[in-house]
Amino acid sequence: MCYLIAKRFDCTGSLALQTVHGQHLAEFKRHLIEKIGYDKIQLVTISRPSAYGEYEPYRFVDSEEEFEKQVVNM
């Protein structure tokens, strides 16, 4: 288990999706990067949110679809 985090560089807080490592996660991240680029939003994978205070506060979402929609609108 891991968390995919999306953080806008100039804002406090981030969006988090609980997921699992693997090819599907890599492809999902590539898909998102194609849509949003590298300029404004950072996508990172972390092991546990409590260990990464620099991304707090977290807003957790329940699905990839919801995560993608919110990331695109960041």
10-43 residue pLDDT tens:
899 999 999 999 999 999 999 999 999 999 999 9
How confident is the model over 38-64, as a mean pLDDT? 95
For residue 25, what pLDDT is reported? 97
Q: Which secondary-structure segment (H or E) carries 72?
A: helix 64-72
Residue type at 3?
Answer: Y
Answer for the pair 9, 50: CB distance below 8 angstroms, yes or no.
no
Query: Which residue in 44, 49, 53 sits closest to 12, CA to CA?
Result: 53
pLDDT mean across residues, the chain: 95
Entry pTM: 0.93
- Which pLDDT belongs to residue 22? 95
Asked if residue 21 lies in contact with residue 2, where contact means CB atoms within 8 angstroms, the answer is yes
Residue-level pLDDT at 62: 96
